[in-house]
Amino acid sequence: MYMNPEKLFTTSILSKKSPDRTTISVMSRHTENDGVTPKKEIQEGISFDEWMRHFAPPSKLVGGYYRGEISWEEFEVAYRRFLESDALKIQLEEFAERCLKEPITLVCIEADADRCHRRLLAEKLKELQPKLEIVHM
């Protein structure tokens, strides 16, 4: 068993799931770009263990970014503001604590964490629990 729960991993949901960590999807949906058709390669239990969609960016925000209506920098500012909302405060604090105690991998669809909200979420969790070490895979 993986013995360093202070490391918080992030990767694409399309990567092979590690049996030694709880893999948590932070996506709003697991569908094709049409928003309806299930993405066949993403399956609960195979691609991820839990789904925390409350940490996903609001659909208007992510849609605006993908449609090119806002830049990545604007998306980042808005998503960070979303994470600062009172509605998520307790959930984020509890989850950050859990990340210290249990090996976890955050997953989303992007291959690279640089322009993915999972990186921003991981950074917020580290802000709440500075002992966390973020490992992007």
**Domain residue spans in the chain?**
7-31+44-136
Task: Name the β-bridge partners of 106.
Answer: 10, 24
Q: Which structure tokens are listed for 12? A: 């694409």
Task: Name the β-bridge partners of 25.
Answer: 51, 107
Name, in order, each residue with C-beta under 8 angstroms of 62's C-beta and a sequence gap of 6 or more.
28, 56, 75, 117
Q: What is the pLDDT of residues 34-70, one digit of tens each?
A: 777 878 889 888 999 999 999 999 999 998 998 999 9
Please, what is the average pLDDT of the chain?
Answer: 92
Of the pLDDT bands very low, low, confident and very high (cuts 50, 70, 90), residue 4 is low
